[in-house]
Amino acid sequence: MDHPARILFVDDEPAVLVSLGRLLRGKFDLRVAASGREALGMLEREGPFAVVVSDLRMPLMDGVALLERLGQAAPDTVRIMLTGCADLEMALRAVNQGHVFQILSKPCPADVLERALYQGLRQYQRLLAERRGQAPPKAHLGLEGLALALAGLVEAKDPQARGHQGRVAHLAAALAQELGLTGERVEQVELAAAIHDLGKVLVPPEVLAKPGPLGPAELAMVRPHAQLGQDLLGGIAFPFSLAQIVGQHHERLDGSGYPRGIVGEDILLEARIIAVADVVEAMVSPRAHRPGLGLAAALQEIEGGQGRLYDPRVAEACLGLFRERGWRFEANFEATI
């Protein structure tokens, strides 16, 4: 029996499950289990789920072990890990043993969770279609999963940037579409944007967690994240220039950016798009030490830097998108589980 949209949540903390149920019931066909054993029992009785989201830290059977067991019983089920304590070792274990599709940090903003669930459901449909021979297998699906899993790591390490990469990806994809890029390229922009700050996993956590604006010494520790992200991704054979795009997201048109200070069209178009989306999202979103600066201020920044810092066509697309088309980031910024 196919259950194309059934989602199972596994967490040993009842409070998480209650707030989750409140947030998502009505939008998804959602079941909850309070332990790995209960989850496996439900799987046996009710058949496979499309997506399983599991907490990492649970007594008796931890999340990786559960997802591994689930994979044996229902290999197509898309697996998502929810964790408050992600590190690189855990992520690799989750990806290698648990075959996770994404790692989400806890607390997780509702819009980020919702987007991950939709992506998970889409992935499940793709897997089913491939199994039925309806669609050619996409070579980069595994890499996309790995990239999205890594994206979750950054958010766990940088509590100030919860949901940042996901929202940048959302806006960057809209900009790419607005600029008339092909569907495939729009997807590539979205994927690169979803992990553009990957290098932050190698920045000391106390620097990322600092509540106020960063001083010169701290900036010197944060700035290498662009190059570090490129280095981390450089060893993986992605079918497009993912590593370079990530490495260039802080470059600016006039050469005032970093790490290389390259100019104009030497910066990949994808990176020029992500740069604009990154600035807008960062200004609009609240940080621990300040409220959001507002959309008007963010658009003013883009307008002021149009043609100097930011690609003129990308900036124009951005201004048009917000001012004329009324484009907005997804709601639920505040709600978290």
The residues annotated with a catalytic role in the active site are 200
Cβ-based nearer residue to Fe ion, 11 or 197: 197
Phi and psi, residue 177, nearest 5°: -65, -45
Q: How far is the CB of 49 from Fe ion (least distance, A)?
A: 33
Contact stretch for Fe ion (CB under 5 A) within 4-12, 191-199, 207-215, 240-248: 191-199
Q: Which residues contact 254 (CB under 8 A, 6 or more apart)?
A: 263, 308, 309
Pattern of binders to Fe ion over 266-305, x per CB under 5 A? ------------x---------------------------
Q: Which is nearer to Fe ion, 186 or 193 (CB)?
A: 193
Half-sphere exposure of 122 (CA within 13 A, CB side): 9
At closest approach, how far in Å is the CB of 66 from Fe ion? 32
Q: Which of 68, 197, 251, 301 is the binder for Fe ion (CB under 5 A)?
A: 197
Closest approach, Cβ 21 to Fe ion, in A, equals 32
What are phi and psi for residue 51, nearest 5 degrees? -135, 135
Minimum separation from the CB atom of position 161 to Fe ion (A):
7
Tell me, by CB under 5 A, how many residues bind Fe ion.
2
Place of tokens 């790419």: 176
The distance of closest approach from Cβ of residue 302 to Fe ion in the complex, given in angstroms and rounded to an integer, is 15
* Phi, psi values for residue 31, rounded to 5°: -120, 155
**Of 144 and 278, CB closest to Fe ion:** 278
**C-beta of 39 vs 175, nearer to Fe ion:** 175
Residue closer to Fe ion by CB (options 64, 103) is 103
Q: What is the largest CA-CA distance in the chain?
A: 61
Query: Of all helices (H) and strands (E), which one includes residue 103?
Result: strand 102-105
Burial class (CB in 10 A: 0-12, 13-18, 19+), 3: middle
Interacting residues with Fe ion between 19 and 78 (CB under 5 A): none
Q: Length of the chain in residues, anyone?
A: 337
Which of 34, 27, 64, 70 has the alpha carbon at shortest distance from 52?
A: 70
Write out the two tokens for 235. Answer: 């060893």
Residues in CB range of 234: below 8 A, 6 or more apart: 243
| Minimum CB–partner distance for residue 8 and Fe ion (Å) | 32
Rounded to whole angstroms, the Cα distance separating 35 from 32 reads 9
Contact range with Fe ion by CB under 5 A, out of 3-11, 169-177, 178-186, 192-200: 192-200
Please tell me the distance from the alpha carbon of residue 227 to that of residue 230, in angstroms, as a whole number. 5
Binding region for Fe ion (CB under 5 A):
197, 278
